[in-house]
Amino acid sequence: MGSRERIGVPASLRAVMVEVARDFRKTSTTSEGVLWEALRGGRLHGMRFRRQHPIGPFVVDFYCPAGNLIVEVDGPIHETQQDHDRARQELLEGCGYRVVRFTAREVESNLQMVIHKIEAHLQEGNVAQRSPSPLEGEGARG
């Protein structure tokens, strides 16, 4: 796992970003809700994820501290802000975070593929334990 640089922001901005993140948690999209159900409570190999987590001046959709992995779910609004998203991702990656993006459609129509790709990114970071996905077998959504 690579080291990450803390993105420093003034305490006043940090407090604002924490409130923004809380508001985002209250109004999550359908696709974010679907992915959160698969990730929450260590359901993915015991790895803990935080949702709508503030990092510096940004709020990321999901963050796994142990894997240093940010997972973003891009809804329709992201089609109009690709340059902004790219610059934001480059800044986060420049600070040592790893970022993986999925479209809302991918999450809603092929959750198992999304989970497998997240697992692969965690394994690249050498943090995921070897065990079956919680979405494999009976009762799997996909």
Domain boundaries, the chain: 33-124
pLDDT string in tens for the chain (142-residue length): 455 657 777 788 889 889 989 999 998 899 999 999 999 999 999 999 999 999 999 999 999 999 999 999 998 765 667 888 899 999 999 999 999 999 999 999 999 999 999 999 999 876 544 444 444 444 443 3
Q: Could you tell me the end-to-end alpha-carbon distance of the chain, in angstroms, rounded to an integer? A: 30
CATH number for the region 33-124 comes to 3.40.960.10
Q: Does the predicted model carry a pTM greater than 0.85?
A: no
- Look at the chain and count its residues: 142
For every residue of 9-54, DSSP letters joined together read --HHHHHHHHHHHHHHHHT--HHHHHHHHHHGGGTBTTB--EEEEE
Q: Determine how β-strand 98-103 pairs with β-strand 69-74.
A: parallel
